[in-house]
């Protein structure tokens, strides 16, 4: 079974309050049956009280190559959001500015995926992927999404699902980062305060953790999961949980990132430090040099990165 999980769950503690965070991806039954790998990806990083997380689901219609799109998108979000200038600007951003900063992360993710496609000698559509992102500190929590997936948050003690994609008559279709008019028609953003926990999931978990008809969250799942993360649940345990959940009828991959705050005195397990990052492994070892080349900063990329949200 192809699994891509973190080596450890991490928690960051500062001034008595910390983030406990964990992520895992497992390959769906249908992919295993066909001898294919996992097309999902995730990433997360913690810097003080600031946390960023992303999950992405490569399009099943172009399975294999789409895994590269999912991985590139998640790494782009992580790399850009953890730049010190971005973190500093986010700490003082207004809600409108936070929305603009989130949009910039999605713009840069598309730029990274397009560059990855060029490096592989492929059309960008073959790397089609959804993308869900969370950027959170003590003041503001910003969530963005293109395509399907689940974003849930504990907002002042109430669990909510955010940015639920409204399907048209073609219930099994979704938008991708590379889709025509994706940013005009599918990009959705929500900025909240009072967020103490959140979860990001690809749509392979939707049937288990939400009401498919309404999009409402299954609260016991989220409350229990966040408590387990606070108590020090490891990535291997999370992967085992995902494997134990019966696949939906599509046999899709399953990916979940969980993050929760709490007093450092009750957070258990994990490594402690001001800066922690984790991400799922790239789709194949052969592609690592290609991915590294795409991630290197050219002068034009550096110029793009200095703009932040100032468009």
Distances in Å between the Cα of 104 and the Cα atoms of 63, 93, 208, 304, 307 are 27, 14, 32, 10, 9
Assess contact for 109 and 77: CB atoms under 8 A: yes
- Is 305 within a domain? no
Is residue 37 very low, low, confident or very high in pLDDT (cuts 50, 70, 90)? confident
Residue carrying the six token digits 């399953």: 254
- Is 304 within a domain? no
pLDDT at 73 over 50: yes
Task: For residue 77, give the CATH number of its domain.
Answer: 3.60.40.10
On average, the pLDDT of the chain sits at: 84
- Is 33 within a domain? yes
What is the count of structural domains for the chain?
1
Domain interval for residue 83: 3-289
- Is 176 within a domain? yes
What was the pLDDT predicted at 120?
A: 95
Assess contact for 201 and 161: CB atoms under 8 A: no
Model confidence pTM above 0.85: yes
Query: How far from each other are the two terminal CA atoms of the chain, in whole angstroms?
Result: 44
- Is 154 within a domain? yes
Rounded percentage of the chain residues whose pLDDT exceeds 70 = 78
What was the pLDDT predicted at 204?
A: 86
56 contact partners, CB below 8 Å, separation of at least 6: 40, 41, 42, 69, 70, 71, 73, 74, 129, 130, 131, 132, 202
Dump pLDDT digits (tens) for 166-208.
765 455 678 999 999 999 999 999 999 999 999 999 988 888 8
Which contiguous run of DSSP H or E holds residue 64?
none
- Is 260 within a domain? yes
Distance CA 136, CA 191 (A): 9
Dump pLDDT digits (tens) for 93-123.
999 999 999 999 999 999 999 999 999 999 9
Dump pLDDT digits (tens) for 3-31.
443 433 444 444 567 899 999 999 888 77
Three-state secondary structure call for residue 151: strand
What was the pLDDT predicted at 217?
A: 96
């Amino acid at each position: 079974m192809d699994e891509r999980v973190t080596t450890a769950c991490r928690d960051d503690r500062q001034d008595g309050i910390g983030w406990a965070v964990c992520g895992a991806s497992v390959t769906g039954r249908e992919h295993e049956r066909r001898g294919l790998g996992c097309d999902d990806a995730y990433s997360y990083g913690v810097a003080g009280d600031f946390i960023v997380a992303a999950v992405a689901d490569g399009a099943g219609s172009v399975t294999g190559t789409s895994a590269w799109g999912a991985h590139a998108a998640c790494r782009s979000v992580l790399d850009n959001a953890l730049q010190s200038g971005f973190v500093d600007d986010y700490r003082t951003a207004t809600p409108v500015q936070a929305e603009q900063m989130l949009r910039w992360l999605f713009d840069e993710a598309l730029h990274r995926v397009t560059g990855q496609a060029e490096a592989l000698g492929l059309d960008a559509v073959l790397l089609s992927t959804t993308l869900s992102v969370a950027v959170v500190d003590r003041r503001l929590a910003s969530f963005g999404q293109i395509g399907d997936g689940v974003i849930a948050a504990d907002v002042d003690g109430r669990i909510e699902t955010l940015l639920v994609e409204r399907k048209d008559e073609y219930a099994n279709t979704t938008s991708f980062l590379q889709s025509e008019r994706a940013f005009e028609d599918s990009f959705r953003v929500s900025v909240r305060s009072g967020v103490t926990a959140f979860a990001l999931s690809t749509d392979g978990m939707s049937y288990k953790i939400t009401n498919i008809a309404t999009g409402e969250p299954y609260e016991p799942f989220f409350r229990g999961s966040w408590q387990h993360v606070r108590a020090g649940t490891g990535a291997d345990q999370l992967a085992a949980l995902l494997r134990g959940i019966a696949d939906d009828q599509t046999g899709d991959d399953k990916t979940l990132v969980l993050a929760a705050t709490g007093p450092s005195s009750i957070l258990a397990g994990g490594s402690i430090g001001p800066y922690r990052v984790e991400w799922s492994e790239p789709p194949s070892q052969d592609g690592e040099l290609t991915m590294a080349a795409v991630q290197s900063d050219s002068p034009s990329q550096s110029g793009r990165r200095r703009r932040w949200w100032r468009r």
